[in-house]
A and B are shown apart, each in its own frame.
Chain A
């Protein structure tokens, strides 16, 4: 009796996944009855809320990937070097102060990062590049990068710390400097764990919502220019749910179609990342 009840609790998580898939797919089917999948996946104009409607998701995908790419340019190098410092260089005392700081950074709500982007980062960008609009992809990418640093740092550090001591000592014994031990022995040995953390970081950047909604604006656009306003998939979903779109209309169904694309992309990356981590764990145990 109790075992069944506990099993039911465990089943809730499975039901959640099924629920997500069923909701996204059934609502999207209604959408794809009216908009051909080909037009949706290859169209370069996204304007469901205008009278002259267009349903090409590429501009939203462009905005999402632009922000994700920009944030990775910050988060990956800074996160990885922070991890190397904490795992290979820092004394326990330094690590004891730095780790909580990173945890605080990781715990700050994303809407606060959105405020920070709009009130602090954007004015700086506008001073360096006069003529930039209030909403621009750069500010969004920078704060998303900042909020992902702790995750990259902490997961990569776990991977680095898991490298057996013997490997390091063998390298030191051959006369390698600390830098050489770190970059040519420890990092390559932990590469799969580091890769897993990078993939998870990209997935987080793709799914990040509030900071990009506030900072990057609401202009779906095909562009590689960080100084222009873009719209991500997540920001579009927020825009629709803030508006007065009637339930059941084609415009309303777009959030499920866009949500489905978002879910498939992030889930795919999470699965790959978990697989890599699982395989990596077997290597040293």
Chain B
């Protein structure tokens, strides 16, 4: 291989190759270090919370109401409040979100109004959650007179998660093969019959996965609920949508903001409960997604 290139270029080339590879290796380690950083933070966070909070976890902790005395405090009202909140939020955002997604994917014409709605949804997804809290305070708490109730909180969270519900439902509906729709139209089904009996059943697992992920965002939301006036100390569970309430994240916020170390440990205990709930929600979403994939691939 004695090709004689103009001498100078070749001489400079060889020594640099080793350096270029070395730079490449260093860069590779840098990138790896970035990922290691995220992993380390996650471990530190989980260990920190576990060390602080595990010893408070007990059946009593789950079934007692908050108390000014740390040893007697529990998160029953927060858990029940969060359950109420999730139920109502899902009941409101699911039909609205799926309805909007069906409209955008199956009914709308490609015109400026549709484009406007679509852009609007994308932009709404980036609005800070506390701004939804301000909206909820003005519209639901004051204007519609819901007061500082579960209903006002759930309506606010429903609007907050709506963009995510719509976008994920749209993706699920879009993934349904066109041939299915054409077969339905071919045997004389109307547009609604096609959607109702053929598109929706196939898209449902995808829609539900998106719904669960949206709710797992809603269950951790704190700021908008503080805005609409969720109480930080509440010693009874809500019995109707018009009752005042607290939720897990607000209980955590309240305990973390107190100066005494015992309350910080209680906060850590409540965080463990919240993270376990989140884990269960995400796991069920993943299971549903995988089952859906397996069935589709058959």
Contacts and interface: CB of A to CB of B under 8 A. Distances in A.
Nearest to B21: A177
B126 interface: yes
B120 A177 contact: no
B232 to A, nearest CB: 8
Contact of B222 (A13, A23, A77, A111): A111
Interface in B207-248: 216-217, 219-223, 226-227, 229, 232
Given A82-B31, A107-B282, A119-B264, A17 B220 contact: no
Contact of B103 (A9, A153, A213): A9
A128 interface: no
A9 B104 CA distance: 10
Contact of A146 (B41, B95, B117, B133): B41
Interface in A227-253: 234, 237-238, 241-242, 247
5 closest Cβ pairs, A-B complex: A207-B128, A109-B220, A9-B99, A179-B24, A85-B31
Interface string A199-218: 01001101111100110000
Given A14-B116, A24-B134, A209 B129 contact: yes
Interface string B105-121: 00110000000110111
Contacts of B191: 3
A167 interface: no
Contact of B48 (A7, A114, A120, A271): A120
Interface in A92-132: 98, 101-102, 104-105, 107-116, 118-120
Contacts of B104: 10
B107 A259 contact: no
Contacts of A209: 128-130, 222-223
A10 B221 CA distance: 24
A241 B252 CA distance: 17
Interface in B244-298: 249, 252-253, 256-257, 264, 267-268, 271, 274-275, 278, 282
A115 B159 contact: no
B220 A110 contact: yes
Interface of A: 2-3, 5-14, 16-17, 19-20, 23-24, 27, 77-79, 81-82, 84-86, 89, 98, 101-102, 104-105, 107-116, 118-120, 146, 149-150, 153, 177-180, 182-183, 200, 203-204, 206-210, 213-214, 234, 237-238, 241-242, 247, 255-256, 259, 262-263, 266-267, 269-271, 273-274
B99 A109 contact: no
Contacts of B35: 82, 85-86, 98
A13 B271 CA distance: 32
Interface of B: 20-21, 23-24, 27-28, 30-35, 37-39, 41-42, 44-45, 48-49, 52, 95-100, 102-104, 107-108, 116-117, 119-124, 126-135, 137-139, 142, 159, 162-163, 166, 191-192, 216-217, 219-223, 226-227, 229, 232, 249, 252-253, 256-257, 264, 267-268, 271, 274-275, 278, 282
B128 A112 contact: no
Contacts of B126: 200, 203-204, 266-267, 269-270, 273
Contact of A267 (B37, B38, B123, B216): B123
A146 B73 CA distance: 31
Contacts of A178: 24, 28
Contacts of B159: 12, 16
Nearest to A97: B39
Nearest to B265: A119
A120 B45 contact: yes
B128 A266 contact: yes
A119 B24 CA distance: 38
Nearest to B119: A274
A23 B41 contact: no
Nearest to B32: A85
Contact of A14 (B20, B120, B133): B120
Given A108-B275, A179-B23, A263-B131, A81 B34 contact: yes
A105 B123 contact: no
Nearest to A182: B27
A210 B254 CA distance: 11
Contact of A10 (B21, B99, B132, B274): B99
B161 to A, nearest CB: 12
A114 B28 CA distance: 32
Contacts of B42: 101, 104-105
Contact of B256 (A16, A78, A86, A115): A115
A62 B178 CA distance: 53
Contact of B142 (A116, A247, A262, A273): A247
Contact of B253 (A14, A149, A214): A214
Nearest to B143: A23
B290 to A, nearest CB: 13
B252 A112 contact: yes
B140 to A, nearest CB: 10
A105 B41 contact: yes
Given A81-B34, A98-B35, A118-B256, A270 B131 contact: no
A248 B150 CA distance: 23
B234 to A, nearest CB: 15
B37 A17 contact: no
B107 A238 contact: no
Contacts of B139: 19, 23
